Amino acid sequence: MLYVSTRGQATSISFKEAVLTGLATDGGLYLPETYPKFSAEEIRNLNGLSYIDLSLKIMRKFIGPELSDTNLREIVQGSYSNFGTDDYCPTDQVDKNHYLLELYHGPTLAFKDFAMQFIVN
């Protein structure tokens, strides 16, 4: 999996390089060169997974073989270990058809914890 700059002037780089580099040399943000696809069967197999296992299945598609399954699991588990709950992003039903997604769990009590804890680890 290669990552390209949103400004299109930087060289394509690997996942690890994108994480360690931060901003692209042209000042852009890194995005996947192509977005992975999930088959209907893969999507069905996501049903019922824990948040950690779901995260692993989805992230694996974006990371590729650069991190072993063991290392990736350690990073993901470590990223969410200080959220203070096993229900990392619960939903509260507001009324019949509306739900509120709680993204304030985590060490800083802000939505950014969901992505940034992984990047930091």
Active site residues: 112
Write phi, then psi, for 65 (nearest 5 degrees). -85, 5
Q: Which two tokens stand for residue 10?
A: 């930087």
Decide: 7 and 28 in contact? Cβ < 8 Å.
yes
Q: Classify 30 as helix, strand or coil.
A: strand
Give me the amino acid identity at 70: T
